[in-house]
Chains A and B, each alone.
Chain A
Amino acid sequence: MTTTVMSKQDTLRSALANLRAALPELRGALIATTDGLPITQAMNEGADANRVAAMAATALGLGKRINDTLDSGDLTEMSISGKEGQVYIYAAGRKGVLAVVAPSGMNLGLLHLEARDTAQMISEVL
């Protein structure tokens, strides 16, 4: 029983490690439940993973609702951008959220490529 749980965590941890390795400029990445609890995190020092997890869940919940109202189908991702940074939030299966915190000016094509792959992998684990 314990071994199964451990390997899920390990899979998720290595998924985030790979993501951060592929995108070295990232400020952080974390996986949370859709009700805002962190599952695995790879955030830069000083970041409050609990806070980010809750906010990502709130944003995703809100985004899903807006999407439903506009008849846009299942929510896949959303972004919040500021002058000095941005966060990309991806649905990871029915119960998961992947949050990717990046500085401004990142190569978004590459970011989305890597992050979407990671989100897909996460959805298979959760």
Chain B
Amino acid sequence: MTADLMGGPLKLVISGPVGAGKTTFVQTLSETPVIATEAEASEDIGKLNTTVAFDFGTLNLDGQELHIYGTPGQDRFNFMWDVLCEGALGLIVLVAGDRPQDFTHARNILEYITSRNPIPFVIGVTHQDLEYVWRPADLAVYFNLDPLQVMGLNATEPDQARGLLIRLLELTLADAAPVQTPTHTFSLETTC
């Protein structure tokens, strides 16, 4: 097995509006049982439950231990975004591609978090399996971001979820090792 690249687990945070697929994303990726903190939703958010504290999962990607924290999506829980982002080395903001009414909120979340924690981030546009859905390229324009930072995925697909993670890690490690060290390239096949 390859040695730990960063000398310890990498902490990553998954945020985004309600219903973007954060909890699902963590559940798809985690190789250990996910610790979730869901409560019954009292509002109509299109599903039964909502995260009130965080989701926690872990996985090992090519020898790099990752700790993944999913945040709640509602603004009233924004104190948790601060708490969870402490010590985080990367951020994924998920937004449902079929909910353009949430795009502004996703951008606000991104702004809120990165203004307090200037860490590398990527945007994941979920629900890509739907016929009428905004594509990553559109969202890249909307967010005024490099298209490399915006990827589409279905949060239920392990390969796609890992793909988004890998994109973030490549950006994170590029940030952390600006000099001569070649950026480690992750493969999609887990070798565990």
Q: B149 to nearest A CB, angstroms?
A: 30
A-side interface residues toward B, CB under 8 Å? 33-37, 50-51, 53-55, 57-62, 64-65, 69, 94-95
Q: List 5 A-B contacts (CB under 8 A).
A: A35-B52, A58-B53, A61-B39, A61-B53, A95-B42
Q: Is B30 an interface residue (CB 8 A)?
A: no
Say which one of B73-81, B116-124, B126-134, B174-182 lies at the interface with A. B73-81
Rounded to whole angstroms, the CA-CA distance of A36 and B77 in the bound complex is: 8
| Known contacts A62-B37, A95-B40; A50 and B53 CB within 8 A of each other | no
Rounded to whole angstroms, the CA-CA distance of A64 and B35 in the bound complex is: 11
Q: Is B172 an interface residue (CB 8 A)?
A: no
Q: B13 to nearest A CB, angstroms?
A: 16
Rounded to whole angstroms, the CA-CA distance of A95 and B39 in the bound complex is: 8
Q: How large is the interface on B (under 10, 10 to 19, 20 to 34, 35 or more residues)?
A: 10 to 19
B-side interface residues toward A, CB under 8 Å? 35-43, 50, 52-53, 72, 74, 76-77, 79-80
Q: A60 to nearest B CB, angstroms?
A: 8
For residue A65, which residues in chain B have a CB less than 8 angstroms away from its CB? 35-37, 53
Asked if B38 and A54 make an inter-chain contact with CB atoms under 8 angstroms apart, the answer reads: no
For residue A57, which residues in chain B have a CB less than 8 angstroms away from its CB? 39, 52
For residue A95, which residues in chain B have a CB less than 8 angstroms away from its CB? 40, 42
Q: A30 to nearest B CB, angstroms?
A: 13
For residue A62, which residues in chain B have a CB less than 8 angstroms away from its CB? 37, 53
Asked if B42 and A61 make an inter-chain contact with CB atoms under 8 angstroms apart, the answer reads: no
Asked if B53 and A36 make an inter-chain contact with CB atoms under 8 angstroms apart, the answer reads: no
Asked if B52 and A58 make an inter-chain contact with CB atoms under 8 angstroms apart, the answer reads: yes
